[in-house]
Amino acid sequence: MEKVINCPFCHPENDSQQHIIFENKYCRYLQHPDHQTILEGSGLIVPKVHRQTVFDLTPEEWGATYELMQQVKTYADDNYAPDGYSLGWNVGEASNQSIPHAHFHILPRFEDEPFAGKGIRAWFKSEENRRPGR
């Protein structure tokens, strides 16, 4: 199994606060307490093998991601009772992929949060995001 030495997703055990909530043969669902104060219930599904982006996943890893996503939804519904979800992948620096290991964000959303009703695209579609000269 290919792993990169300094990759936090290849070696989640190196961060004593990183929690592996679920895992299957190909992927893990991770939660970190630092992200729970604002993004309650949020976490990441990551392949166990180092894959730089979602475009590098194997068909088996895609299937394993789907299986974990279903488990995570049940877990989050039971433990956090969200009103909705935002889900997504970031690929490359322009999208703010800060760790070059594919990771699928699962963000429970709540009606009482300040940005309720605004999905991921709300910021992309804003006038402030218009490219220069376009």
| Residue 43 in tokens | 């976490």
| Residue 105 pLDDT grade (very low, low, confident, very high; cuts 50, 70, 90) | very high
pLDDT of residue 117: 85
| Residue 81 pLDDT grade (very low, low, confident, very high; cuts 50, 70, 90) | very high
Could you give the percent of the chain with pLDDT greater than 70? Answer: 99
Which CATH topology does 12-125 take? Answer: HIT family, subunit A (3.30.428)
What average pLDDT score do residues 91-110 get?
A: 93
pTM for this structure? 0.88
What average pLDDT score do residues 50-54 get?
A: 96
Residue 44 has pLDDT above 90, yes or no: yes
| Residue 53 pLDDT grade (very low, low, confident, very high; cuts 50, 70, 90) | very high
Q: CA-CA distance, 89 to 118, in Å (whole number)?
A: 17
As a whole number of Å, the CA-based R_g of the chain is 16
What residue ranges do the domains of the chain occupy?
Answer: 12-125
What average pLDDT score do residues 39-62 get?
A: 96
CA angle in degrees (0–180, nearest 5) for 123-126-127: 145
| Residue 39 pLDDT grade (very low, low, confident, very high; cuts 50, 70, 90) | confident
